[in-house]
Amino acid sequence: MKVTALLIICSCVISGNSGKPQFPEREKDPQFWNTLAQQTLKEALMQQKLNQNVAKNLILFLGDGMGVPTVTAARILKGQLKGQSGEETQLEMDKFPFVSLAKTYNTNAQVPDSAGTATAYLCGVKANEGTVGVSAAAVRSQCNTTEGNEVTSILKWAKDSGKSVGIVTTTRVNHATPSAAYAHSVDRDWYSDGEMPPEALQAGCKDIARQLMENIPNIDVIMGGGRKYMYPKNQSDVEYPNIPKHSGTRKDGRNLVEEWIAKKKDKKGHYVWNKKQVLSLNPNNVDYLLGLFEPGDLTYELERNSETDPSLTEMVEVAIKILRKNSNGFYLLVEGGRIDHGHHEGKAKQALHEAVEMDRAIGRAHLLTSIHDTLTVVTADHSHMFNFGGYTHRGNTIFGLAPMLSDVDQKPFTSILYGNGPGYKLVNGARENVSTIDFEENNYQAQAAVPLSMETHGGEDVAVFAKGPLAHLLHGVHEQNYIPHVMAYAACIGQNREHCIAHDGTAALKPALSSIAALLTVTRFLC
């Protein structure tokens, strides 16, 4: 039966690759679905033998703004990029055996932002919107509410336990998501002191870029954007020397990159700012890596210069190869941060290609680690006012039109729509006729019901995918701040480690299987 299922699936994949995707003939036969369901059932029963090993390594993939509709649409896009109809495709995260839901609200917001949510899934406590690394007792933009309300992150817990730690993001390294891993700031927008009000500086609050260098001084790997926040005000950027908006922003005159280089010069530390530099490194000769590839956020994947700018997948591979040298293991935070930006701009094509690229990075991490000793979690901080519908036919391009006209204004509409955002357009007082424009263009702003200059987040729960040691603890519906507690528990770090030591002093949780056993088990799943 297993062979039959594989043959059926393979025949569908092959047929899906030949020309235009068509309705697979095999799907008309009930035996196809019965066989597929039975095989899935067998695999599900195998998952009942729970992995209770110690998680030597922890990886959190955070798709910023990657709500469930985005996951579904990205799945279809991934398949269609391979010439398939798309709906039957599997994302890498789809293969994870355990899935749960996380409630994303902030302590003071029904619909959250990326700062308060980051504090939840990294520091283990819910917080107010706009604040990072501080409890809900801290008030946004009020510097004097910082002291005494700081909370630490799982990245710090891992570092304190002897693990290597890393941050990889497609946004600025001091953007909301990564900053909650190391900073304590009552305002997520205090990227450098150039963005801070004078009274906050006078009261002793530190900008986020400075905290990146000082709070946890030995973060092993840092990769993303945000160069300009590290350099003195008006200092020209190395890549864009004649563009003032990319110049340094710091008012204190500090060059944080040079300071980092000086501190790491005798510690196998390397600073890089382009793809050639980072990919030419031998990970075995690198203990510390700072990679800042843009003055601000990295470019969208669809616009990325593949000769000069590394992809998220490439950065993740370099990071893991450096971090895994530590015999104590590692913690790695990976953010697909520009999924969120694409949605805010109403540019669904940009957002979904960002999500597909993050899925590639998840696949690469899978090849570089083992499910026996690595707990991998994939989730989102929040959702968006994004969806797709309109009774589209199987295999319809995800960026295409619904198969009928509106029965109200008799005009066509795209399957993808936003509840609000910049895509709201009226032509002569009526809804724009999308058939007259290129709605599959990379930067097309999908139609929205309510006009806004920037589309907003959504408030629904987000999915949490998990695999590896104790992944089954991520089940059901939980508060978002539960996530780092599970990861810390699995790795025997943080506040509750009693379960890790048996009464006789030996490890209570089982150590990971040998590499040979792991390879055999992985082979069984793949074949």
User: At residue 524, what are phi and psi to the nearest 5 degrees?
Assistant: -60, -40
pLDDT in tens, the chain (527 residues): 443 344 333 333 333 344 455 678 899 999 999 999 999 999 889 888 899 999 999 999 999 999 999 999 999 999 999 999 999 999 999 999 999 999 999 999 999 999 999 999 999 999 999 999 999 999 999 999 999 999 999 999 999 999 999 999 999 999 999 999 999 999 999 999 999 999 999 999 999 999 999 999 899 999 999 999 999 999 999 999 999 999 999 999 999 999 999 999 999 999 999 999 999 999 999 999 999 999 999 999 999 999 999 999 999 999 999 999 999 999 999 999 999 999 999 999 999 999 999 999 999 999 999 999 999 999 999 999 999 999 999 999 999 999 999 999 999 999 999 999 999 999 999 999 999 999 999 999 999 999 999 999 999 999 999 999 999 999 999 999 999 999 999 999 999 888 897 544 445 666 654 343 444 343 443 44
The predicted-structure confidence for 265-307, as pLDDT tens digits, reads as follows 999 999 999 999 999 999 999 999 999 999 999 999 999 999 9
Domains of the chain, by residue range, sit at 50-385+463-491
Return the pLDDT at 227: 98
- Active-site residue set: 114
User: Is 64 marked within a binding site?
Assistant: yes
User: Is 43 marked within a binding site?
Assistant: no
The predicted-structure confidence for 334-381, as pLDDT tens digits, reads as follows 999 999 999 999 999 999 999 999 999 999 999 999 999 999 999 999
User: Is 382 marked within a binding site?
Assistant: yes
User: Is 299 marked within a binding site?
Assistant: no
User: Is 175 marked within a binding site?
Assistant: yes
Asked if residue 186 lies in contact with residue 138, where contact means CB atoms within 8 angstroms, the answer is yes
Q: What kind of fold does domain 50-385+463-491 have according to CATH?
A: Alkaline Phosphatase, subunit A (3.40.720)
Query: Taking CA 140 as the corner, what is the angle to CA 137 and CA 146, rounded to the nearest 5 degrees?
Result: 55
Query: Taking CA 82 as the corner, what is the angle to CA 36 and CA 72, rounded to the nearest 5 degrees?
Result: 60
Q: How far apart are CA 309 and CA 130, in angstroms?
A: 30
Asked if residue 146 lies in contact with residue 505, where contact means CB atoms within 8 angstroms, the answer is no
Residues in the chain, overall count: 527
Q: Give the closest residue to 370 by CA, choosing from 153, 169, 486, 526.
A: 526
